């Protein structure tokens, strides 16, 4: 099938909307016509680290659309279903069997290899391979080949443009709070980085009844929005964040979340914890971070990572959509829509911080 896709031809290249060929689905695969795809920092991070010599690639891993075709072995998914796409997992390894598919032992192969597990590609151009199957989808395209394990059927009343980011960004932030930090009404929660992941975390904490919320970000518009959502907003460029948080929380936060991936900020997220507090990191960034182990040990603090909100997508995405339908997860204010032809403008706006969550629409 011929279709349009936004190709990346190198880490510093713009995206280019070009005609490519989508492979026929295998018996265990699903073809989805994409309605909308969220633009995520992970897409840009992956693009920036893939050498041009590796050839063209199609990214995109927050797709939502309508099922066009299903393979003979696919159950519980039918043509015409409205779906949100998320990450792939094998379903058979120890982590998947234990209820933690985000930590699937085959996650790298299934989500980031650029090919199907058998080595074939789902997209070609003029007979040449295109790196695709990103998170089992590569949804910067009009159509994708996905599999049952990363397809979540949603009610047809759901706005797919709004639902697309639930496949990664929104579930990452919300899941880090609801599934990992699990704060209660007496908790004090601080979010470092008020992007789409950070705001999803903030809204999830608010939905959990947390009264003391704080968001740390350098962008004035994002701090203003955080205040609209009931959080105290701090500017790390002009304020002593650690001192301000300790004063706000009466000595230290019970829970912190870093979405920035910046080592110094992660250090702050740990430093501002009170005794037995927990810091979770979800941001992609530098691989090495310096942490005061004496502080961690003496105060019984916890520092842990989290991928995809530690969620099982077929139960967690509907849970978040239900919270949204009840008015308890108002992510509508985070989304800015762009036609797919304006993908580079969406990237620029996200990078500058002028929008929180760009969503590309066909």
Indicate if the pLDDT at residue 284 is higher than 90: no
Helix axes 241-249, 263-271, angle to 10 degrees: 30
> Helices 41-49 and 343-352 sit at what angle, rounded to 10 degrees?
100
In a domain, 195, yes or no: yes
pLDDT of 29 > 90? The answer is: yes
Q: What is the pLDDT of residues 72-84, one digit of tens each?
A: 999 999 999 999 9
**Model confidence at 287, in pLDDT bands (50, 70, 90)?**
confident
Mean pLDDT to the nearest integer, 251-264: 96
Give the model's pLDDT for residue 53: 80
- 148 and 219 part of one domain: no
- Same domain, residue pair 211 and 282: yes
- pLDDT score of 110: 97
Give me the domain span that covers residue 50: 2-167+330-361
User: Is residue 242 within 8 Å of 266, Cβ to Cβ?
Assistant: no
Q: Does some domain include residue 339?
A: yes
Query: What is the model's pLDDT at position 313?
Result: 96
* Cα torsion through 332, 335, 341, 342, rounded to 10: 140
Indicate the burial class of 92 (C-beta count within 10 angstroms; 0-12, 13-18, 19 or more): exposed
Looking at residue 286, its pLDDT comes to: 82
Q: Which SS3 state, helix, strand or coil, does residue 301 take?
A: coil
User: 176 is written with which tokens?
Assistant: 């880090």
3-state secondary structure of 320: helix
Indicate if 126 and 273 belong to the same structural domain.
no
Please give the pLDDT value at position 69: 97
Which CATH number fits the domain that encloses residue 66?
3.90.180.10
- The model's pLDDT over 118-175, given as tens digits with 9 standing for 90+, comes to 999 999 999 999 999 999 999 999 999 999 999 999 999 999 999 999 999 999 999 9
Residue 338 has pLDDT above 90, yes or no: yes
Percent of the chain with pLDDT over 90: 96
348 neighbors 355 (Cβ within 8 angstroms): no
Is residue 52 scored above 90 in pLDDT? no
pLDDT at residue 251 in the model = 95
In a 10 Å sphere around its CB, with 0-12 CB exposed, 13-18 middle and 19+ buried, how is residue 66 labelled? middle
Q: Does residue 222 belong to any structural domain of this protein?
A: yes
Tokens of 253: 């936060």
Q: Do 6 and 152 reside in the same domain of the chain?
A: yes
Tokens read off for 75: 């159950």
Q: Is residue 105 situated within a structural domain? A: yes
- Give the confidence band of 236 by pLDDT, cuts at 50, 70, 90: very high
Mean pLDDT throughout 244-252? 96
User: Within this chain, do residues 222 and 294 fall inside the same structural domain, yes or no?
Assistant: yes
212-216 sheet: strands from edge to edge: 232-234, 212-216, 188-192, 253-258, 273-281, 302-305
pLDDT in tens, 3-15: 999 999 999 999 9
CA distance 203 to 176: 12
pLDDT for 13? 92
* 14 plus 132 within the same structural domain: yes
Whole-number Å distance between alpha carbons of 11 and 52: 7
Residue 320 lies in a domain: no
Alpha carbon distance 111, 357 (integer Å): 22
Residues sharing a CB contact under 8 Å with residue 264, sequence separation 6 or more, in sequence order: none
Residues 203, 228 contacting (CB under 8 angstroms): no
Shared domain for 77 and 126, answered yes or no, is: yes
295 contacts: CB under 8 Å, gap ≥ 6: 270, 271, 301
Q: Are residues 18 and 162 in the same domain?
A: yes
User: Can you give the CATH number for the domain in which 209 is found?
Assistant: 3.40.50.720
Task: Say if 322 falls within a structural domain.
Answer: no
Domain count, the chain: 2
In 130-261, alpha helices (H)? 160-163, 169-175, 196-207, 220-228, 241-249
Judge whether 291 lies within some domain: yes
Span 91-110, average pLDDT: 97
Q: Is residue 206 in a domain?
A: yes
Same domain, yes or no: 29 and 109? yes
Least confident of 41-55, 74-88, 230-244: 41-55
Look-up of token digits 């182990």: 293
102 and 11 in one domain? yes
Residues 71 and 177 reside in one and the same domain? no
Q: Are residues 236 and 105 part of one domain?
A: no
């Amino acid at each position: 099938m011929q279709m349009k896709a936004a190709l990346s031809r190198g880490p510093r290249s713009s995206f280019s909307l070009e005609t490519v060929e989508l492979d026929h689905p295998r018996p265990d695969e699903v073809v989805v016509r994409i309605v909308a795809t969220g633009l995520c920092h992970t897409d840009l991070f992956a693009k920036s680290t893939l050498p041009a010599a590796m050839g063209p690639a199609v990214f995109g891993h927050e797709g939502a659309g309508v099922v066009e075709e299903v393979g003979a072995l696919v159950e519980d998914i039918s043509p015409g279903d409205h779906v949100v796409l998320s990450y792939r997992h094998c379903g058979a390894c120890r982590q998947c069997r234990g209820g933690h598919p985000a930590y699937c032992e085959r996650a790298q192969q299934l989500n980031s290899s650029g090919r199907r597990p058998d080595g074939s590609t789902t997209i070609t151009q003029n007979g040449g391979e295109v790196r695709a199957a990103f998170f089992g989808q590569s949804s910067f395209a009009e159509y994708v080949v996905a599999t049952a394990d990363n397809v979540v059927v949603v009610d047809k009343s759901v706005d797919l443009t709004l639902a697309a980011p639930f496949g990664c960004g929104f579930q990452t932030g919300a899941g880090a709070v609801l599934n990992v930090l699990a704060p209660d009404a007496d908790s004090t929660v601080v979010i470092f980085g008020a992007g789409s992941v950070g705001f999803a975390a903030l809204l999830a904490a608010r939905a959990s009844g947390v009264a003391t919320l704080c968001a740390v970000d350098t962008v004035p518009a994002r701090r203003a929005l955080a205040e609209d959502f009931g959080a105290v907003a701090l500017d790390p460029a002009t304020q002593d964040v650690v001192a301000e948080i300790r004063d706000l929380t009466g000595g230290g936060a019970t829970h912190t979340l870093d979405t920035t991936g910046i080592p110094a900020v992660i250090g702050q997220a740990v430093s501002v914890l009170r005794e037995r507090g927990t810091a979770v990191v979800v941001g992609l960034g530098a691989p090495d971070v310096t942490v005061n182990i004496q502080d961690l040990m003496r105060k019984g603090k916890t520092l842990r990572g989290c991928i995809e909100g530690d969620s099982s997508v077929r139960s967690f995405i509907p849970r978040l959509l239900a919270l949204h339908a009840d008015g308890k997860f108002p992510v509508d204010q985070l989304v800015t829509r762009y036609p797919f032809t304006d993908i580079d403008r969406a990237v620029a706006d996200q990078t500058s911080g002028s929008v929180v969550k760009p969503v590309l629409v066909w």
